[in-house]
Structure 1
Amino acid sequence: MFHFCRIIFQAIVLYCGTVATVWAHAFWVVPVEGHVQPGERVVFDLRIGPRWPGESMQRDTTTLISRFELDDGVQRTPIAGRENLRPVGHYKATVSGANFAVMTSYPHSAELSGEKFEAYLAEEGLDDALEIRRKFGLKTASARERFRRNVKTLVLVGDNSDGFDRLLNLPFELVPLTDPLRYSAGEPFVVRVLRNGRPLADTQVVAGLRDSETTLHTRTDMNGNARLEFPAGGMWMLYAVDIAPSTTPDADWESIWTSLTFEVNP
């Protein structure tokens, strides 16, 4: 019975869009350990929710996960895992340097009341969309949104961070410009936001520390760069959202989410 109720709850969270404004949208993959040695096994957890700890999800390649691959700088290979079980995947680290796990989701849809959609846009700093709704008198109108996610997590293998700033050519991507292996808490950490390979200016980036309520907010500059000063080392999750009016009649808005997880030293 508990298992059945859990499945129903997850379905509500994923598809209704009314339990919480952004719960079903935010989506990240996190390794149990973000820095390993060659030959060690890396295990990944999939979580949904805008803040730590979120909701741990099972591996579901039928309705949720469309692609889950490892990019170790040499090749891209599928990440193994058992369907409908946790953890979501694992692999054996063999190539030193920056290893990225890349995951994309199938598109999902949600319909929110005007009040909840406005709150969601405000929380995620989507000011252009708020202005469009104001301009056309839609402030109280409900909204149908189609959203998708493409996310990545960085695992450093060995005492080597080569390739930490590697581009993975995702349609929406957070790219670290600061080396996590050599970062010290309190220093500026810079990440670039790319949309279809181009820097995206004036976009909100949110960062959260694992097992903590610490949350940071910033916006990108004209070059698409966001600067964050992490108060502590550990596993950090960063995410950003881009939204635009839909070009098809079955949705009012189309959004795309991206997240990046990585571990920095204290």
Structure 2
Amino acid sequence: MKRLPLLFILFIALSAHDLFIKLDTYFLKPNQKAQLYLFNGTFETTENEISRDRMQHVQLVGPAGKQVPEEAQWTDRNKATYLSFKTGVAGTYVAGVSVKPGTIALSADEFNEYLKHDGVLDVLASREKQKQLTQPSRELYAKHVKAIFQVGDELSEHYKDVLGYPVEFVPQQNPYALHEGDELEVQLLENGKPLANHYVYAGFSEAAKHSHAHQEAEHHHDEVQQKTDKKGMVSIKLEHEGQWYLRCIRMVESKSDTLDYESNWATLTFEVR
């Protein structure tokens, strides 16, 4: 078995960060003070905060309309970024955050391992086919994350609101009308249109508690891989109670002279009881 150098493993662990919106519980009461937080790392471990100047298109959408949080509502603690807010009337809500693009330059080995680690298998296969596995890469990346949470007992239709991100997941049923053992259909959109034949990964955590410990970044062991159909759909069997996520990375070759690839990352989180 080929062993990777320790510093190389640490590089992959620190660079391949998914971003998630999380809550300790996704079931809240009407007019309750609450917090959501951003995890940048894995679904269970965060490695760093998200600075305010990188956030854009932050919104909370529910039965009373859209709220745009003020900067003073955000705080950083233990490598996570927290948003304090107050819920409104009963219903199903969606929260969204988009993070401005950044760039990263990687050696050929680093980039190939990152593609394998994070499941960007179409790009990895393309590099192999075009004999580009020895070429380094410069990538422009951006992250767009959503969470669906339930306030009170009354369900509403906001779970399927499209927030207009470059890539986003849109459930086709209300997750809070479903239970363990049911199936949830989710559509993946790119610029508002179905994204077909694309890798999507889903996983869950039974524990509501979260960790800020520095650990090697690995996705949850229960993560499953699917590909979207021609309508951009995947069907996720909710086999366990707990907090669930979907994630994907949409990466394409760049037309810029200074970049090799451009990527948009998307995640969606919710809870099953």
Same fold, judged at TM 0.5 (above): yes
Normalising TM by the smaller chain, what interval?
0.7 to 0.9
> Is the counterpart of residue 70 in structure 1 residue 60 in structure 2?
yes
Corresponding residue for residue 144 of structure 1: 138
Structure 1, unpaired ranges of 5+: 1-15
TM-score, normalised relative to structure 1: 0.84
| Cα-to-partner distance string for 1:21-53 (whole Å, 9 max, x where unaligned) | 68444111112220112111221111112x331
> Which amino acid letter does the alignment assign opposite residue 76 of structure 1?
K
Q: How many Å separate the matches in 1 of 2:198 and 2:75?
A: 35
TM-aligned CA deviation for residue 95 of structure 1: 3.0
Corresponding residue for residue 155 of structure 2: 161
Change (3 A) 1:101 1:255: same
Q: How many Å separate the matches in 1 of 2:198 and 2:116?
A: 12
| Cα-to-partner distance string for 1:102-129 (whole Å, 9 max, x where unaligned) | 1011211112222232233234443442
Q: Do 1:177 and 1:192's aligned partners in 2 also have CA atoms closer than 8 Å? A: yes
Corresponding residue for residue 33 of structure 2: 41
Corresponding residue for residue 110 of structure 2: 116
Corresponding residue for residue 29 of structure 1: 21
Count of aligned residue pairs for this structure pair: 248
> Is the counterpart of residue 261 in structure 1 residue 272 in structure 2?
no
Change (3 A) 1:252 1:18: farther
Q: Do 1:193 and 1:225's aligned partners in 2 also have CA atoms closer than 8 Å? A: yes
SS for the counterpart of 1:241 is strand
Fraction of identical pairs, as percent: 25
Q: Which of 56, 61, 78 is residue 52 of structure 2 equivalent to?
A: 61
Corresponding residue for residue 20 of structure 1: 12
Q: How many Å separate the matches in 1 of 2:110 and 2:199?
A: 19
Query: Quick check: 190-199 or 176-185, which moved more?
Result: 176-185
Corresponding residue for residue 99 of structure 2: 105
Q: How many Å separate the matches in 2 of 1:159 and 1:36?
A: 9
Indicate the RMSD between aligned Cα atoms, in angstroms.
2.4
SS for the counterpart of 2:145 is strand
Q: How many Å separate the matches in 1 of 2:121 and 2:51?
A: 33
